[in-house]
Structure formats: C-alpha cells, structure tokens
Structure 1
Amino acid sequence: MSKVNCSGEFMSVLSDKKALKKAAEELTVVKLQEVIRQLNDVLESRQREAEALAEVEELVRQKGFTLQQLGISVQHELAPASTDVVTEKRPVKPKLKSINKEKQYFYVDGGKLQLLKTHTMKQGLRDRGISILSFADVSKKHQKEVQALLADAEQQAIKNFNAKVQVWNQWAQQHGGEILEPK
C-alpha cells in the first residue's frame, strides 16, 4: 500500500469504506494493530479535548457569559462529551396583538358562528362549502355572538403573550435584555 502523507488523503480513505477495507487487507496484522493503536490514541486525545471544552463552556456559562461574548470561536469536530449542553437562541421579542373586530373573519358551522383563527383555514372551509364572512357580513342573528368570540380570542392572545413574555424574560435576565411586563 502506498504511504498516505496528507491528512486530507487519509480522511478520504477513511470515509470511503471500500478503499479502507482494501487498504486494511493489504496491511500485515502487526501494521494493522499499530494503525488501530494510533487511531485509538487520537480518539482518546480528541475525547479529552471535547471534555475540556465542555468544562470551559460550563465555567463560562456559570460566570454568565457565552464563548462568543468572550470572543472565542470553537470548531466542534466531535459531539460534546455531555449531551446537556444546549445552544440557547434568542427568543423573538413578544408583541401583544390587539384584535380589531372590523378586520376579523367569521364562518357559520353547524348553525354556530365561529371566528376564523388563521387565514390558512379559508380554503379548507370553502372546500367544505362554508362561506367566510367579514365582520360587516355577519347576520344580525349572529351579531351577539361576535363579542363573546372576540373576547375569547383576546383572552387567548393575552395568554399567549404572557407565555412568550415569560420565555423572553428568562432569556433577558441571563443576557442583559429588556424585562417585559405581562398583561
């Protein structure tokens, strides 16, 4: 077997299973054991590096920083030694959306007025033969139901907003962001 003197060539041989098998068949048992020993040493060294990196990341996190904040860029070749390391993304800053009844759409299903919650529902309802109504098109028979539907929708919007505020505030406390007040 020809000697591999470039790590790129070696990696391509390792990643190509057929070439690896052919190369291994050409080695004597002694040489094969030496290659395995060398690979095990490299693997052990890389695992120690990954463990040390996990310890550094944990220490940095305990001090309230991220590696990026300290200007440290790390290339991970291996999965981290501990699986509890989670990269935390910045959540979207929540905004409470007010409900304007003139911009809402409704539909009647089973004789009962319903609020159209997402515009993606429109086509499915139309396919079922159900008409979509704007606020102005709602019949007088169903006008009294509109306020109750809008009140429920507003309560749900506030509940969703408060849940997002809670997530945002947890992130903001750790990263020095603006703390928001729930509604």
Structure 2
Amino acid sequence: MSLLLDKRELKKAAKELTLAKLNDVLDTLQSVLAERQSEIEAINEIERFAREKGFTLEQLGYKQIQDTLAVEEEISVSSDKRPIKPKFKTLNKESQYFYVEDGQLQLLRTHTMKKGLQARGIEVVSVDKVDKKFAKDIDALLADATEQATLNYNSKVVLWNAWAAVNGGEILETR
C-alpha cells in the first residue's frame, strides 16, 4: 500500500515491471485458480457422495468444521492487530444538531459534516432552535440513530470478544 502512496516508488516499480514479469504473474495466478477449481470440484464430489450414502453434511461434521474455520480465519486476521475497544456512546438529545434538507429534518451525524453543510448554505441548529413544525421528527431521528449506534457497537463487540478470547482480554456484553 505504501508503494501506491509514494509516486517515486511507483515510478521505479513501473520501470522494473516488464512483460516477462507480468506473464509470470499471470501464469502463477492461473495455476492458483486452477488449483482452487480442482479443490472445489473435489469438495462437490465429497458432498455428492455423502448425499448418495444418506449422510447429511452436518452428520459428517463438514458444515461445522467449515463454520469454525471461517471464524478462526477471521480471528487470526484480527488477532494480529488489537482492535479498538468499543465504547457505547449514548445520544444526549440536548447536545445533538440538526439541519433541514429537501424539506426534511436530518440529524447531524458527524461534526465534520457541519462545515460542508454550511458551505452549501444549509443551516445547522441545536435541538432547542429546531423549527416547531419539525419538533415531532426529533425523537424518531434520535431513536433511529440510537438503533444504528447499538448495531455498530454490537458488531464491534463481536470482533473485540473474538480477539479477547484469543488474547486474554476483557469480554464485553452486547446491548
């Protein structure tokens, strides 16, 4: 990734890249693709054979193993780097800002949006300065934002708990 960020290194790599090297890369990718395809065919053959003999894949432990491997792969990828410990942020009604766009009241999600909205000529106001005709929409917007914050928090807790189980960290509760 740093290669792409540095123009000098990118230019140097482009000079070193030749048609022969590109062909080698393509050949390697095609061989890996063929290998994966043969693995898929073998798995399909095993599944077909198990069904013919009257076994379910769950009875053979195939599906459970596949699910476990997928979870272990996610953990191994995330265990290399410690994830950020999630913190649930409650939405305080008095500290929220709103704006009206296309005739509808919207909740200001991030304060970085504020300058962009103001540059477009959209007024950003606090909850006590919201026009009375939009007052009924405030609670619905806050409820929706709280629900979304809870979903985001819970998804981060799952990743954190997977990392914590492997590395002996604190296990968090979902909300």
Q: TM-score, normalised by structure 1?
A: 0.52
Task: Mark the runs of 5 or more structure 1 residues left unpaired by the alignment.
Answer: 1-83
Q: Judging changes above 3 Å, is the alpha-carbon distance between structure 1 residues 89 and 131 closer, same or farther for their aligned structure 2 residues?
A: same
Aligned match of 1:123 in 115, 122, 126?
Answer: 115
Aligned residue for 1:149?
141
Q: Which has the higher contact order (CA 8 A, sep 6+)?
A: 2
CA distance in 2, matches of 1:142, 1:177: 45
- 1:165 maps to 2:157: yes
Matched residues in 1 for 2:122 and 2:167: separation? 49
Moved segments of 4+, more than 6 Å: 84-87
Q: Tell me, in whole angstroms, the C-alpha distance in 2 between the residues paired with 1:130 and 1:177.
A: 45
Structure 2 CA distance for aligned equivalents of residues 156 and 86 of structure 1: 23
1:93 to 75, 79, 85: 85
Distance of 1:125 and 1:103 partners within structure 2: 18
Structure with the bigger percentage of helix: 2
- Please give the per-residue CA displacement for 1:14-71, whole angstroms capped at 9, x wherever unaligned: xxxxxxxxxxxxxxxxxxxxxxxxxxxxxxxxxxxxxxxxxxxxxxxxxxxxxxxxxx
The answer for the alignment partner of 2:170 in structure 1 is: 178
Greater C-alpha Rg: 1
Which residue in 2 is equivalent to 1:133? 125
Name the count of aligned residue pairs.
100
Q: Post-superposition shift, 1:178?
A: 1.1
Matches within 5 A, 1:66-77: none
3-state DSSP of counterpart to 2:100: strand
Contact 2:79 2:163 in 1 (8 A): no
Identity of aligned residues (%): 58
SS of match in other structure, 1:92: coil
Residue correspondence of structure 1 range 17-56 to structure 2 within 5 A: none
Look up the match of 1:102: 94
Runs of 5+ consecutive residues of structure 2 not aligned to the other structure? 1-75
Q: 1:106 to 1:88 in 2, by over 3 A?
A: same
Distance 1:118 1:85, change over 3 A: closer
CA offsets per residue over residues 146-167 of structure 1, 9 Å max, x none?
0000000000100010010000
> Aligned-pair RMSD on alpha carbons?
1.7
Task: Normalising by structure 2, report the TM-score.
Answer: 0.55
Q: Which amino acid aligns with 1:96?
A: F
